[in-house]
Structure 1
Amino acid sequence: MYWSVWLCVVSLFIASITHWVYKWRNPKCNGKLPPGSMGFPIIGETIQFFIPSKSLDVSSFIKKRMKKYGPLFCTNLAGRPMVVSSDPDFNYYIFQQEGKLVELWYMDSFARLVDLDSTSQSIVATGYVHKYLRHLALAHFGTEALKDGLLSKAEDMIRTRLHDWSKLPALEFKTCVSSMIFDFTATSLFNYDFKMKGAHFSEKFTNIIHALISIPLNIPGTTFHKCLKNQKEAIKLIRDVLKEKKASPKSLKGDFLDQMIDDMKIEKFLTDDFIVYVVFGLLLASFETISSTLTLAMKFLTENPLVMQELIEEHEAILKNRENPNSGISWKEYKSMTFTHQVINEALRLASVAPGILRRAIKDIQVNGYTIPAGWTIMVVPAALQLNPDTYVDPLTFNPWRWKDMGVGVAAKNFIPFGGGSRSCAGAEFTKVLMATFFHVLVTNYRLTKIKGGQIARTPALTFGNGLHINISKKHG
């Protein structure tokens, strides 16, 4: 009798486990799911996703499954059922369906870093809040803001940093440029005084980036746990600045944070916590993308003398045509930098800094005979589009000239460094201006020599191994 009871219990346990595993591998769907595998229970295929590859190419995780299943496949990452897409037409369609079929979504690691639960994510994704934040970002970092003084401030900052770097026998470029971009962006956002507070906060933000591509386990010793410590310090910095500004309204000078403080009088969603995490998120989004892309561009410029030579010729021509040789870059000059923009586009194409752009299905979505269930995450993979050999000849080759005859239609669906649709990055022009200004000051005043490093890897984010070590020396004559 005793053994019969235990046999019954064990049988029920095995049956329930078997049923649970079956349900995990065969999720509910009102139709046919795209092909793929949900991986192991709970962890899905997360471990395979994070296996690094020492190449600029699409990560091996994505590439293997694209080859096996096609441009759409299902998987499970960190417990989230997901459809991964490398289909340019479907991606373009999804970006146009914002608020209708899909909504903005973040991985759990990012959501925890910026204090977003499911409810908060939905609030941020709502049309009104998104429009407010986008309008505010464009007002302080968009075209008009750049024309009205941000461009000249960027040039002053870059001239100062390059002058300081030229005194060094060598520098690790990614670290230095990250600090520069962080300081400039933070100053523009909330009047951050990096000379008083120190430059170490840019390092903390670089460390935080690693948490975005890690499993969100807050256990001592894990990457995520270490990054959360850095995050708390960064949040405290922003919160302290917010308190100081609110305590002395006369000190408000009209920067991004000042505007949000002023708008708290009329916008109920603008709480202290909301403002702090918006500023934190903007800092994360801006400096890492720009610094990684600029570092990749520097690596390629040191390895491609023909590209460097044409870049030098374009910028020296700008100096020759300038009425006042001591004046800064004008907006007209910036727009005239044809080859420079080709170099920037090529660096953005190859960098593909974001491993994926996420949306969540609000309703069931039908595509190519498949159904993506409501509540599932959709991951658009920029690298799969931007490194596609069917679109770009020799896709892993740094070739700025390819953009000379690139059709607008091709770029619209196969080049998405700033996302797409109504959620496209409001800082796109800001990024391009910083890069173009950096190139201008660099090639007209300095010589660039690679010393060592620059090994590329995707983890799945873009990294540079032991760093890119270069020498920047002042030109003479």
Structure 2
Amino acid sequence: MDWQVGISLVVIIFSCFLWLVKGRRQTSYDTIRKDAKIPNGTNGLPLLGETLEFMASNYTTTHVSFMRKRRSLYGKVFRSNILGRPIIMSTDPEVNKIVLQDDGRTFVPSYPRTVVAVMGETSILSMTGDQHKKYHGIVAKFLKAVPVMERVAKEIEQSMELAFRRWKDKPQIYLQDEINQITFEILVRMLLGIDPGQEMDLVRTEFYELIKAIICIPVKFPGTTLYKSMKSKEKMVELIKEIIRYKVEKGQDSVPMITTLAIKYLTDHPAAIKQLREENLELKRQKIQSGEPYTWSEYTSLPFTQNVINETLRMANIVNAVWRRCLKDVEIKGYLIPKGWCIMTSFSSVHLDEEIYEDPFKFNPWRWEGKGQLNQNNFTPFGGGQRLCPGYHLAKMEIAVILHHFITGFSWVEAEPDTVTTFPRVRMKKKFPVIVSPISD
């Protein structure tokens, strides 16, 4: 373990110690009924629990080692103690499904304070019940609207053309940074240049309610024009904030990282590169021959491209788990989850489970052939239930567009070996330096 990791752990331990002392007063093993069938596990060290080993495992290339070790000892669902608090950890896809599909009556989000501080207390992440359902639906409707999908696809095409010009004069590029730049440019253009009549359709109704108050009786009682206008203003502001939050927090990180990892995984599999390139070159030739522009649906209709994306999502695990707090004692598959405890549903443990996926640590896009409808229990890269990522359609389309233009425009080799690190977030350790060369059809 290098010195940076050591310093990071010291900072984490000290911060956690201050937090867990307070938290320990609120939740204790002493509050659990004697006859409760709590999953097997261990409390770990006094106060710290198993925090050190849990955090350290995230610095390794096999970040699920913590989960795999305990699963072999205690089963697919087990208990642990992280940051001084008891927690249930699930690697069981059926248990995960039940937790994810809960409507907020039994399980509610339990995110670190830093997440709440960055996203805001009124973020869709913190919302529950009907409020969450409402805003989640609005954001999802916006992000998968045809005008939005078409606009984003066109923006990516333009950004890729600019990138090609930059890359031709460079002996090597850092692909992770380059793809981040591409998606950032799109983000800025979309946020600062939204076309009226297209992406703004969803906020237009609320806007009309807002402008009614410009000239009205200045009385803000329920039912008055001013009151309804102010409510519409609040809704419009919240809607725009949620769309921006999603694009900044999800699109600006997840999409470029998944795309980078897809290219990294492909690098070691020439047969996959060959099949992916042939599929995308066929589409490119069709568009050149017809003289018609691409449509967003054409990018997402390429089967092997989707196989590559799904396999990358399975292995990358950008969101490797979600945390929920239990509002009441509940029993799932014979396991008791006590009130006040957290449960962590591990997506990465399921995605890398050899009982579900043969040779799970091997990149194999052909494993998805003939799958048809994906098993939503065993494949949850975007979460699930009512909190399914509202922009997953858009994200997969963005990845497909970038891959199409990259794979048909360039060949590449690694400039130097690079590895994936998963803490504090998934990324390439050296930003994936590659040497690119233009190719002809």
Category of TM-score, reference length = shorter chain:
0.7 to 0.9
Letter in structure 1 aligned against 2:139: A
What corresponds to 1:232 in structure 2? Answer: none
Given the superposition, is the C-alpha separation of residues 23 and 92 from structure 1 closer, same or farther in structure 2, using an over 3 Å criterion? closer
Structure 2 contact 103–386 (Cα < 8 Å) conserved: yes
What corresponds to 2:357 in structure 1? Answer: 392
What is the CA–CA distance in structure 2 between the aligned matches of 1:256 and 1:463, rounded to whole Å? Answer: 36
Instruction: Tell me the secondary structure at the aligned position of residue 405 of structure 1.
Output: coil
Structure 2 contact 97–384 (Cα < 8 Å) conserved: yes
Given the superposition, is the C-alpha separation of residues 97 and 66 from structure 1 closer, same or farther in structure 2, using an over 3 Å criterion? same
What corresponds to 1:380 in structure 2? Answer: 345
Structure 1 contact 167–473 (Cα < 8 Å) conserved: no
What is the CA–CA distance in structure 2 between the aligned matches of 1:256 and 1:293, rounded to whole Å? Answer: 30
Instruction: Tell me the secondary structure at the aligned position of residue 321 of structure 1.
Output: helix
Letter in structure 1 aligned against 2:161: R
Alignment match of 1:65 (pick from 62, 70, 75) = 70
What is the CA–CA distance in structure 2 between the aligned matches of 1:325 and 1:454, rounded to whole Å? Answer: 41
What corresponds to 1:201 in structure 2? Answer: none
What is the CA–CA distance in structure 2 between the aligned matches of 1:309 and 1:327, rounded to whole Å? Answer: 25
What corresponds to 1:434 in structure 2? Answer: 398
What is the CA–CA distance in structure 2 between the aligned matches of 1:291 and 1:182, rounded to whole Å? Answer: 9
What is the CA–CA distance in structure 2 between the aligned matches of 1:439 and 1:373, rounded to whole Å? Answer: 46
What is the CA–CA distance in structure 1 between the aligned matches of 2:422 and 2:400, rounded to whole Å? Answer: 25
What corresponds to 2:217 in structure 1? Answer: none
Does residue 456 of structure 1 match 2:425? no
What is the CA–CA distance in structure 2 between the aligned matches of 1:86 and 1:458, rounded to whole Å? Answer: 18
What is the CA–CA distance in structure 1 between the aligned matches of 2:172 and 2:205, rounded to whole Å? Answer: 41
What corresponds to 1:289 in structure 2? Answer: 254
Alignment match of 1:317 (pick from 279, 282, 303) = 282
Instruction: Tell me the secondary structure at the aligned position of residue 470 of structure 1.
Output: strand
Cα displacement (A) at 1:302? 1.7
What is the CA–CA distance in structure 1 between the aligned matches of 2:367 and 2:124, rounded to whole Å? Answer: 40
Q: Within 5 A, what are the aligned runs for 1:94-109?
A: 94-109=99-114
Letter in structure 2 aligned against 1:170: Q
Given the superposition, is the C-alpha separation of residues 56 and 35 from structure 1 closer, same or farther in structure 2, using an over 3 Å criterion? same
Cα displacement (A) at 1:42? 4.3
CA offsets 1:309-368 (integer angstroms, 9 cap, x no match): 101110111123336555432244224301000000000000011231122222222023
Instruction: Tell me the secondary structure at the aligned position of residue 416 of structure 2.
Output: strand
Instruction: Tell me the secondary structure at the aligned position of residue 444 of structure 1.
Output: helix
Does residue 339 of structure 1 match 2:297? no
What corresponds to 1:219 in structure 2? Answer: none
Structure 1 contact 450–471 (Cα < 8 Å) conserved: yes
Letter in structure 1 aligned against 2:29: N
Does residue 93 of structure 1 match 2:57? no
Moved more, 65-74 or 381-390: 65-74
TM-score, normalization by structure 1: 0.73
Structure 2 contact 206–233 (Cα < 8 Å) conserved: no
Given the superposition, is the C-alpha separation of residues 21 and 357 from structure 1 closer, same or farther in structure 2, using an over 3 Å criterion? closer
Does residue 170 of structure 1 match 2:175? no
Structure 2 contact 347–381 (Cα < 8 Å) conserved: yes
Moved more, 137-146 or 375-384: 137-146
Instruction: Tell me the secondary structure at the aligned position of residue 266 of structure 1.
Output: helix
Does residue 51 of structure 1 match 2:56? yes
Alignment match of 1:81 (pick from 57, 81, 86) = 86
Moved more, 281-290 or 52-61: 52-61
What corresponds to 1:446 in structure 2? Answer: 410
Percent pairwise identity: 26
Unaligned runs of 5+ in 2: 1-22, 211-228
CA offsets 1:356-406 (integer angstroms, 9 cap, x no match): 112222222202332112232221111101111111111111111000033
Cα displacement (A) at 1:49? 1.6
Cα displacement (A) at 1:139? 3.7
Moved more, 307-316 or 289-298: 289-298
Q: Within 5 A, what are the aligned runs for 1:344-355?
A: 344-355=309-320
CA offsets 1:79-111 (integer angstroms, 9 cap, x no match): 443211110111112222122322233223312
What corresponds to 1:152 in structure 2? Answer: 154
Letter in structure 2 aligned against 1:61: F
What corresponds to 1:188 in structure 2? Answer: 190
Cα displacement (A) at 1:465? 1.9
Structure 1 contact 419–425 (Cα < 8 Å) conserved: yes
Q: Within 5 A, what are the aligned runs for 1:257-276?
A: 262=207, 265-267=230-232, 270=235
CA RMSD of aligned residues (A): 3.4
Does residue 425 of structure 1 match 2:425? no
Unaligned runs of 5+ in 1: 1-19, 193-249
Structure 2 contact 149–394 (Cα < 8 Å) conserved: no
Cα displacement (A) at 1:252? 11
Moved more, 363-372 or 339-348: 363-372
Cα displacement (A) at 1:46? 2.2
Structure 1 contact 55–456 (Cα < 8 Å) conserved: no
